[in-house]
Amino acid sequence: MSRLREAAQATAVGVSALAAAAYLTAFRPRSQVFGSFPYGAKTEERVVALSFDDGPNEPYTSRLLDTLDKYDVKATFFQVGRCAQRFPSCTRRVVQSGHVLGNHSYSHSFSSYLKQPRQEIEINLSQDVFYSITGLTPALYRPPWLCHWPWLLRSLQHHDLQVVSGTFAHPLEIIQPAAAKLTDSAVKLTRPGTILIFHDGQEARGGPREQTVAAIGPLIDRLRDCGYRFTTVDQLLGISAYAS
């Protein structure tokens, strides 16, 4: 093999490795490489924000809301536009109960994240859906899979949306391990200023979320026993939840 060809091959391998690293970096919950991607607040106060992605998904979102009401805890729901169209009264209840409604895309479709024009459509469509249901325009956006490509961050900035990351309450919560495991993991991962991520749906497909629902009451009890109080993501980060 000629030296030239060897050099070309080595370069190709290097470029592929770089591309793979960049790709993976775009999904890391705490990566700030492509721009600011807040995953919590810097504070010594024992304060924590519960957040729920991929809803509304009935009857689970309503059950969660019942639990949160019972404990008098406010949380942040990053909802999918298409799901909100399916369960608009549930989305309204989130807002009417004093929780915060954030945007989690319109369709939660991976292919929409690959091209910039589709991304714009996802943002515009979902913001229109949330406004038509609640009269509010969310100012918080959590990207599906926490995928924060540079062009997505630019789009969000253009729409005055604050991107929000967090800490997954349990690495496998999406496939529903036992509630006690979810609670244990979330307690272990909580620090002052943590934003915990749970799922009351699964992408835009719904699905059973019994374990997540069952984990929340005991989690609130245990974190309160540790001296924590609960807040919403906007309050924790000191920013607005909605466009004025």
What is the contact surface with Zn ion in residues (CB under 5 A)? 53-54, 144
Least distance to Zn ion, CB of residue 42, Å: 26
Cβ-based burial of 189 (10 A; exposed 0-12, middle 13-18, buried ≥19): middle
* Tokens coding 233: 């993501």
Q: How many CB atoms lie within 10 A of CB 44?
A: 8
* Tokens coding 38: 């807040």
Least distance to Zn ion, CB of residue 110, Å: 11
Least distance to Zn ion, CB of residue 9, Å: 39
Least distance to Zn ion, CB of residue 201, Å: 8
Q: Which is nearer to Zn ion, 34 or 113 (CB)?
A: 113
Report the C-alpha gap between 68 and 242 in whole angstroms: 21
Q: Which is nearer to Zn ion, 68 or 80 (CB)?
A: 80
Q: How many helices (H) and strands (E) does the chain have?
A: 9, 8
Q: Which is nearer to Zn ion, 54 or 173 (CB)?
A: 54
Q: Which is nearer to Zn ion, 99 or 199 (CB)?
A: 199
Which ranges constitute the DSSP H helices of 135-243? 150-158, 179-189, 210-225, 233-237
Report the C-alpha gap between 155 and 233 in whole angstroms: 21
| Residue pair 236/132 in contact by the 8 Å Cβ criterion | no
Report the C-alpha gap between 197 and 204 in whole angstroms: 17
> Cα angle at 85 between 83 and 87, to 5 degrees?
70
Which ranges constitute the DSSP H helices of 26-115? 60-71, 81-86, 88-96
Least distance to Zn ion, CB of residue 44, Å: 31
Q: Which is nearer to Zn ion, 47 or 90 (CB)?
A: 90
3-state secondary structure of 20: helix
Q: Which is nearer to Zn ion, 53 or 122 (CB)?
A: 53
Q: Which is nearer to Zn ion, 47 or 119 (CB)?
A: 119
Least distance to Zn ion, CB of residue 203, Å: 6
Least distance to Zn ion, CB of residue 228, Å: 25
Choose among 128, 137, 107: nearest CA to 119: 107
